[in-house]
Amino acid sequence: MPFGEVVCGSPGSGKSTYCYGKHQLFTALNRPISIVNLDPANDNIPYPCAIDISSLITLEDVMNEHGLGPNGGMLYCMEYLEANYDWLEDRLKELGNDAYILFDLPGQVELSTNHESVKNIVHKLAKSGFRLAAVHLCDAHYVTDAAKYVSVLMLALRAMLHLELPHVNVLSKIDLIQQYGDLDFNLEFYTEVQDLSYLENALSASSPRYKDLNMAICSLVEDFGLVGFETLAVEDKESMLHLSRVIDKATGCVFVPPPEAKQPPGTVEAKGVPATARPNVHALFTSAAGPMQGPRSDVRDVQERWVDAKEEWDAWEKAQWRKEGQMVQEAARKSKIRERGAREKT
Ligand SMILES: Nc1nc2c(ncn2[C@@H]2O[C@H](COP(=O)(O)OP(=O)(O)O)[C@@H](O)[C@H]2O)c(=O)[nH]1
Ligand SMILES: [Mg+2]
């Protein structure tokens, strides 16, 4: 049963960097992972790419051939991919049934909020057995301005309603948030999206002309009650691990034992049923479905790490890295001495 993430978000929100970070994390954890680049304008792909849309179509060719601009060209590329869905399907099949796949989407927001092609492709994938979640990255910089935050809320809601997938919204680059000055509220206010009426003062100060419109959008977002955010600093291991757990829950991956998992002792094996179709009797996975625990799983920890005590935490982390480096050097030195000793003996 293949699982996957549809990674979307505006240009520069950190989609490709996130895919690369997730590839490194999963490889270190010994979990399978493959990345499919669906952005035909992605020329500097940082990660190893299992499938690349550029081998089907490139934005440059489309723009030259059809006289389209970059946005129209991008829509054409997605429509072309939809029409040639079997190209994608054949290549995905080669990755196997237990693959975990990240789809790195182009940044044009209309693709995940209005245009039908990405939605149709995603639905075809779901029909063919993929368990997908949309991971929508929004640059955390937007929460520093109330009006921009309202636009992010609307964008997130629109993508949720359009793609119709389990959805995880993420404030990316949270490690940079302190650079943009003091926030009007704690991070929790922005991630929980509980009572947006508090934005009224900030909205009348920053954009008085559009205050009523902004407040109407806020009340619409509240009425749906769907939008909330996780946070991400891609180089922070704890942050990546927490987000991975949230996504595993959203896709349902957490409820499926890994393919090589043996039947736990004391349970009766359902003979002839493949591992991925058996009910999950592994305590580890069931407990993983409970409330999240651990560092950075509470937004107040994230606030402390990146806003309230960033300098102290940075210094502490640097000291830990230094210690780790010294330990590695020391271990290498000792093993060299041991090797030399063994050679002298023989
Ligand atoms: N500080 C910081 N920078 C990030 C993070 N994620 C991405 N970036 C930077 O944001 C820029 C845009 O990222 P990219 O992955 O190309 O965005 P994309 O257009 O959404 O694929 C790059 O310079 C990245 O290094 C993050 O978590 N923290
Ligand atoms: Mg990219």
Is residue 22 lining ligand 1, measured as CB closer than 6 Å?
no
pLDDT of 192 reads 92
Closest to 35 (Cα-Cα) out of 56, 10, 17:
17
Closest to 184 (Cα-Cα) out of 169, 168, 204:
204
The residues that bridge with 52 in the sheet, in sequence order, are 37
Testing ligand 1's pocket by substitution, the residue of 6, 17, 74, 178 carrying the most ligand atoms inside 8 A of its CB is: 17
- DSSP 8-state secondary structure symbol assigned to residue 308: I
Ligand nearest to the CA of 41: 2
- What does the alpha-carbon distance between residue 176 and residue 192 come to, in Å, rounded to a whole number? 20
Which parts of the chain have pLDDT scores under 70?
A: 1, 257-270, 273-293
Amino acid found at 133:
A
Amino acid found at 346:
T
- What does the alpha-carbon distance between residue 167 and residue 156 come to, in Å, rounded to a whole number? 9
Is residue 42 lining ligand 1, measured as CB closer than 6 Å?
no
Which residues contact residue 288 at a Cβ distance below 8 angstroms, ignoring those fewer than 6 apart? Answer: 245, 248, 249, 254
Ramachandran region, residue 232 (left: φ > 0; alpha: ψ -120 to 50; beta: rest): beta
| Contact status, residue 248 vs residue 288, Cβ threshold 8 Å | yes
Query: Residue 230: in which H helix or E strand, if any?
Result: strand 230-231
pLDDT of 250 reads 92
Kindly report the protein residue whose alpha carbon is nearest to atom 7 of ligand 1. Answer: 14
Query: Residue ranges of the alpha helices (H) in the chain?
Result: 15-28, 59-66, 70-83, 85-94, 110-113, 116-127, 146-163, 187-192, 200-206, 211-224, 237-251, 283-288, 299-303, 310-345
pLDDT of 157 reads 97
- What is the arrangement of strands in the sheet containing 167-172, beginning at the earlier edge strand? 51-52, 34-37, 100-104, 3-9, 131-139, 167-172, 230-231
| Side-chain half-sphere CA neighbours of 276 within 13 A | 12
Kindly report the protein residue whose alpha carbon is nearest to atom 28 of ligand 1. Answer: 173
Any idea how long the chain is? 346
| Contact status, residue 146 vs residue 185, Cβ threshold 8 Å | no
Ligand nearest to the CA of 234: 1
pLDDT of 312 reads 94
- DSSP 8-state secondary structure symbol assigned to residue 97: T
Is residue 113 lining ligand 1, measured as CB closer than 6 Å?
no
Distances (CA, A) of 314 to 10, 53, 309, 311: 29, 39, 9, 5
Is residue 102 lining ligand 1, measured as CB closer than 6 Å?
no
**Residue 221 is encoded by which pair of tokens?**
């977002």
Is residue 46 lining ligand 1, measured as CB closer than 6 Å?
no
Closest ligand 1 atom to the C-alpha of 232? 27
CA of 104 relative to ligand 2 center, distance in Å: 7
CA of 111 relative to ligand 2 center, distance in Å: 14
- What does the alpha-carbon distance between residue 238 and residue 247 come to, in Å, rounded to a whole number? 14
CA of 44 relative to ligand 1 center, distance in Å: 13
pLDDT of 258 reads 66
